[in-house]
Amino acid sequence: MKLKFWGVRGSIPVPGPATARYGGNTTCIELQGEKGELIILDAGSGLRVLGSDLVQRSITLPHIYLFISHTHWDHIQGFPFFTPCYIPGTKITIRGPLHFLENKTLRDVFDMQMRYEFFPVSNQQLAADIQYEALTETTLDIGDITVRSQFSNHPVRCLGYRLEENGRSVVYTGDHEPYYNLFDSDFNEDSAGSDDDLLFGNITQTVHDANDRFIDFIRSVDLLVVDSQYTPHEYPALKRNWGHSSWDYCLEWMKRAEVDRMVLTHHDPMRSDDAVDEISSKVHQHAQEKGIDPEKIMMAKEGLEIEV
């Protein structure tokens, strides 16, 4: 499998000189199988650039399988600008999770961002043959590639994807925060030792189990592409419950799950290229201390290509 990063930013596109090296586009990763299967992970603004590239590669486009981790803007906003949507005969299959209780289909959610108030072309007018399928946790095959989905921890329903082909494997976590005991932070002396400890006490096990399950999901992968929006300084003090991880957790996961290589992505929009460099050197230093080969960890960057 070959991966190429077309968007590595979280939250919102951030163009400009300060982000020119790593890139300002929001999340989009292209993955090609050995037989040419084309899988795209997330449709952030990087998808626009990938779309332009795809139409220049050949006259006929392959079937495009787009997997959305979740439907927050930074993971779908590139879709209306994806050139293959406008080419008759192009087959696009979009899969991703839905949030609870909205009674909407995945197509409805994609329709919404293309309503006339927001965009001049409606989803109905797109020339491509586009199919939608809402996913929960499942396993399916795209050619020789097996895709397994598992829920991540994010404010809106979010899926991570594990892709395997001929014994090689990649996990893209989507947006993910470590599961934690969110009752800890408002623990106060009044309630210490009171009856409600009995009611909340079993949380530790739930958190533990959920985090273990995440480790199982990424276990022994050849490449882990992981949400690492924050620094240990920012998380958990300032950004807890925002649905993202910090790089110290990622290092821990890499070690525990015996991950071979890791790409840190979903850079914070406030992060300049220099700030990403700074994080990179800290990560490498900490990796060394943990006995992880620093060469095996990369910061995601637009244009970065990796063969797995």
Partner 1 sequence: MDIAYPEIPREIERVAEEMPSISPVLGKINKISQEMDTSPRDLVKVIMLDPVLTGKVIKLVNSSFYGLPQKIQSLAQAVVMLGMNTVKNLAISTAVISSVFIKEKRSPLDPEEFWRHCLAAAAGCRYLAVQMKIAPDLVEMYFIAGLLHDVGKVLFIRTDPLRYKKAIEESNRLGIALTFSELVHFGCTHTQVGALLAKKWKLDSVLVDVIEQHHFLPNTQTPLMKETVMLVNNLCKQESLGTSGNCIIEEMADTLAGRLGLGQDSLNTMVELLPSELDKAAAFLDIVQEAGVE
CA–CA distances in Å: residue 86 to residues 36, 71, 89, 126, 127: 22, 21, 9, 5, 5
Binding of residue 203 to partner 1 (CB under 8 A): yes
Q: How many residues bind partner 1 (CB under 8 A)?
A: 28
Distance CA(263)–CA(41), nearest Å, equals 14
Tokens of 222: 């050849």
In angstroms, what is the minimal distance from the CB of 207 to partner 1?
Answer: 6
Residue nearer to partner 1 on the CB measure, 196 or 289: 196
Binding of residue 197 to partner 1 (CB under 8 A): no
Tokens of 63: 């079937």
Residue nearer to partner 1 on the CB measure, 137 or 293: 137
Binding of residue 202 to partner 1 (CB under 8 A): yes
Binding of residue 209 to partner 1 (CB under 8 A): yes
Question: What x/- string results for residues 122 through 161 when contact with partner 1 is judged by CB under 8 A?
Answer: --------------xx-------------x---x------
Residues 6+ apart with CB under 8 A from 271: 19, 279
Residue nearer to partner 1 on the CB measure, 186 or 295: 186
Distance CA(289)–CA(186), nearest Å, equals 34
Contact 298, 264 (CB under 8 A): yes
Contact 154, 10 (CB under 8 A): no
Tokens of 75: 């993971």
Distance CA(198)–CA(60), nearest Å, equals 62
In angstroms, what is the minimal distance from the CB of 141 to partner 1?
Answer: 20
Q: Which of residues 66-125 bind partner 1 (CB under 8 A)?
A: 100-104
The binding site for partner 1 (CB under 8 A) comprises 100-104, 136-137, 151, 155, 179-183, 185-187, 191, 196, 199-200, 202-203, 206-207, 209-210, 213
